Chains A and B, each alone.
Chain A
Amino acid sequence: MTTPSLMTNGALIVAAVLVGCGVGLSVWASLGVARNLLTSAVRMAIQLLLVGNVLLFVFTRSSVWLTVLVVACMFAAAAYEAGARQTIRLPTVWHFAIGTMATFTGTTVAVLTGLLTVLHPHPWYQARSAIPMVGLLLGNVMNATSLSMNALLSDVSRDRRAVEARISLGASRFGAMRGVMRQAIRTALLPTFNQMAAAGIITLPGIMTGQVLAGMNPIDAARYQIVLMSLIVSGNMIGATVAASLLTLRLTDARGRLRLDRLKSV
Chain B
Amino acid sequence: MEVGLEIRGLKNSLVGPFDCVMGPGECIAVTGRSGAGKSRLLRMIADLDPHEGVVAFRGYLQNEIAAAQWRRQVMYFPAESGWWSDNVGDHFANRAEAEPLLHAVGLSEDMLGMSVHRLSTGERQRMALVRGLLLQPDVLLLDEPCSALDAVITARVEELLSRIRKAGTMIVLVTHDEDQVRRMADRRFRVLEGGRICEDMI
Contacts and interface: CB of A to CB of B under 8 A. Distances in A.
Given A255-B47, A257-B50, A167 B71 contact: yes
Nearest to A259: B50
B115 interface: no
Interface residues of A, number: 22
A163 B132 contact: no
Contacts of A254: 67
Contacts of A258: 48
B68 A168 contact: no
A257 B44 CA distance: 11
Contacts of A166: 82, 84
B144 to A, nearest CB: 15
B38 interface: no
Nearest to A176: B84
Interface in B72-97: 72, 75-78, 80-84
A168 B84 contact: no
Given A168-B76, A169-B72, A169-B135, A255 B67 contact: yes
B81 to A, nearest CB: 6
B98 interface: no
B78 A164 contact: yes
Contact of B68 (A160, A171, A253): A171
Contacts of A172: 68
Given A165-B81, A168-B76, A255-B67, 9 more contacts: A159-B82, A161-B82, A162-B82, A164-B48, A165-B83, A165-B84, A168-B48, A168-B71, A168-B77
Interface of A: 159-172, 179, 253-259
Q: Please name the 9 residue pairs, one residue from A and one from B, whose CB atoms are nearest each other, closest first.
A: A161-B82, A165-B82, A170-B72, A162-B82, A256-B67, A162-B84, A255-B67, A170-B68, A168-B76
